[in-house]
């Protein structure tokens, strides 16, 4: 195909060279392009809308380029670069057929096989190349799919490249930088490029047939055991990790080197990292490579949705990894374990700005928790409120005797009061909460339930983020507030009164949902899709591209 493409490009050069006949053919091509673009611009022309995905932009581009419908793709270097990029675009997690790859190759072959280039075919080639470039640029720049259509709870700050497409395409083709401009539209985050490398690795594994299923007749495998299934375990791990050295000449012996590789695998997959190969580890080992590739593709798309500017200093919570990171100038300066919402009370994905902290917070119970949890609990246990130091209050803050309330009626007809939990170590919010305004009523806070952090999957909240080291986070966030150090924080806590402290340096907060990522060393991590958010996204990615009415730039 490459040889034929070179012949095609030679034909194009001859076609567009000087000479009376060539000038006549150029005028004919311009006429055909003009007619086709008129048809493309006609929104009632359903047939062409099924062929070209960016009809409005194609029309605008050729009308505004000032070239009187002259072809834009008359340079060999530009076509070469676009076709090369299309053949590798699966490594961006995208489908080459969305960008006419097969159509382009077949059309080029047809043109090459004919004695002289047919102007109708050249016009079709021209417009397909343009449509391919524009659509690919759109998908690289902001994602193929619409985040909020896929997941109504996805409201993170979005990428929205502000591009003058006429000037952009003109300069791209004039300076022969098709590959560079397409690459420039991909996310600038290091996480995206790391994940791309991971995709290439797993695609290569997939092309070699993946890995064999691993099973054992034993209940578990662990260090010190000698069994034939140990050799099989070594083989399986070596596919996605490294060729594992062993401390003895016996490959069936579960030695320390293998133990460390099992621990690494468990860490990479969000499992208890004890080095013991039990049911959970075996299940993770047997997830097929196709699912791993799909997971990486889904998360590449999520990064394409996300703005390149998350803030020099920002908080990133990966809901699927139950972890909070504080990142400054691209480096993680603090991280801690997190607890997130139950599957039926999902923590939403969104971006906001943390502006203040509250030490010794009280807790006004949100309506959803009040309706679904607290009122039913009071009906079952009249001492529930006293046991948790909760008070019923009016909107004006006046106390109400709980015994005077018809709780059964409140459960069915609504509750006219509020319930407040006083500050203290047993308060549901713990000793500090971190506030960033949002309509979800979600925030980050301490918790008295420290034992929950020992779990590997921590879906225990009603949507808010509980963290394991809240005071350390508070200390770092207050580092630009004069006089606020850990001693001052401890003094404030000892007062046992609510105290609001506004941050001198507000911090962007991004609650994200990432089920696959890779670090700078190339280690790839996967997490269970606790909220089942991957499959709707993958379904949308697998669908063929629709018209520009659904895929706006």
Catalytic residues, which ones?
Answer: 445, 464
* Contact partners, residue 143, CB within 8 Å, separation at least 6: 159, 301, 304, 305
| DSSP conformation class of 209 | T
Q: Is 552 helix (H, G, I), strand (E, B) or coil?
A: coil
* Contact partners, residue 315, CB within 8 Å, separation at least 6: 324, 325, 326, 327, 354, 444, 507, 508, 509, 510
Residue 143: which of 98, 187, 180 has the closest Cα? 187
Element (H, E) at 466: strand 465-467
Q: Is 308 helix (H, G, I), strand (E, B) or coil?
A: coil
| DSSP conformation class of 248 | S
With the C-alpha atoms ordered 58, 93, 87, 179, is the resulting torsion angle positive or negative? positive
Task: Give the phi and the psi of residue 332 in degrees, each rounded to 5.
Answer: -80, 115
How far is Cα 352 from Cα 310, in angstroms, rounded to an integer?
10
Q: Cβ(69)–Cβ(37) under 8 Å?
A: yes
Both tokens of 24, joined, read 């006549």
Task: Give the phi and the psi of residue 154 in degrees, each rounded to 5.
Answer: -100, 110
Question: How far from each other are the two terminal CA atoms of the chain, in whole angstroms?
Answer: 32
Residue 421: which of 447, 443, 455 has the closest Cα? 447
Q: Is 418 helix (H, G, I), strand (E, B) or coil?
A: strand
For residue 431, CA distances in Å to 298, 316, 437 come to 37, 22, 19
How far is Cα 384 from Cα 323, in angstroms, rounded to an integer?
32
Which residue has tokens 């290091």? 190
Which residue has tokens 């020099």? 312
């Amino acid at each position: 195909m490459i040889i034929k493409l070179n012949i095609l490009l030679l034909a194009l050069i001859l076609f567009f060279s000087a000479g009376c006949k060539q000038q006549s053919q150029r005028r004919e091509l311009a006429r055909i392009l003009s007619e086709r673009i008129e048809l493309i611009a006609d929104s009632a022309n359903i047939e062409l809308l099924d062929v070209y995905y960016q009809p409005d932009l194609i029309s605008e581009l050729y009308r505004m380029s000032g070239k009187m419908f002259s072809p834009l793709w008359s340079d060999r270097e530009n076509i070469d670069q676009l076709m090369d990029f299309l053949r590798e675009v699966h490594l961006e997690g995208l489908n080459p057929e969305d960008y006419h790859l097969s159509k382009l190759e077949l059309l080029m072959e047809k043109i090459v096989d004919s004695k002289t280039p047919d102007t109708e075919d050249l016009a079709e080639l021209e417009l397909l190349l343009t449509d391919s470039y524009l659509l690919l640029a759109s998908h690289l720049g902001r994602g193929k799919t619409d985040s909020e259509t896929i997941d109504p709870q996805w409201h993170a700050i979005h990428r929205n490249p502000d591009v003058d497409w006429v000037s952009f395409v003109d300069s791209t083709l004039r300076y022969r930088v098709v590959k560079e401009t397409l690459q420039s539209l991909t996310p600038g985050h290091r996480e995206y490029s790391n994940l791309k490398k991971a995709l290439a690795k797993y695609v290569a594994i997939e092309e070699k047939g993946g890995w064999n299923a691993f099973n054992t007749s034993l209940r578990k495998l662990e260090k010190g055991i000698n069994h034939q299934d140990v050799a099989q375990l070594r083989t399986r791990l070596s596919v996605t990790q490294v060729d594992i050295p062993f401390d003895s000449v016996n490959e069936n012996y579960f030695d320390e080197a293998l133990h460390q590789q099992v621990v690494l695998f468990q860490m990479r997959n969000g499992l208890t990292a004890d080095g013991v190969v039990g049911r959970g580890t075996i299940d993770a080992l047997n997830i097929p490579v196709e699912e791993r590739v799909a997971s990486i593709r889904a998360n590449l798309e999520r990064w394409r949705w996300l703005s390149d500017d998350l803030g020099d200093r920002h908080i990133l919570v990966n809901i699927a990894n139950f972890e909070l990171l504080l990142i400054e100038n691209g480096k993680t300066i603090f991280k801690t374990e997190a607890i997130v919402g139950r599957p039926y009370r999902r923590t939403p994905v969104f971006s906001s700005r943390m502006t203040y902290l509250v030490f010794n917070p009280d807790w006004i119970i949100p309506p959803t928790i009040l309706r679904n949890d607290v009122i039913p609990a009071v009906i079952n246990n009249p001492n529930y409120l006293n046991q948790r130091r909760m008070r019923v209050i009016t909107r004006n803050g006046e106390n109400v005797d709980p015994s005077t309330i018809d709780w059964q009626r409140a459960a069915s007809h609504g509750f006219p009061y509020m319930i407040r939990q006083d500050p203290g170590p047993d308060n549901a919010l713990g000793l500090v909460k971190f506030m960033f305004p949002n309509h979800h009523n979600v925030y980050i806070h301490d918790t008295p339930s420290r034992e929950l952090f020992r779990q590997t999957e921590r879906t225990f909240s009603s949507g808010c983020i509980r963290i394991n080291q809240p005071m350390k986070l508070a200390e770092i966030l207050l580092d630009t507030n004069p006089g606020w150090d850990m001693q001052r924080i401890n003094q404030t806590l000892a007062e046992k009164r609510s105290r609001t402290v506004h941050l001198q340096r507000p911090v962007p907060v991004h609650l994200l949902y990432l089920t696959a990522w890779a670090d700078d060393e190339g280690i790839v991590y996967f997490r269970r899709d606790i909220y089942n958010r991957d499959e709707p996204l993958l379904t949308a990615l697998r669908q063929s591209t629709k018209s520009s009415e659904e895929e706006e730039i």
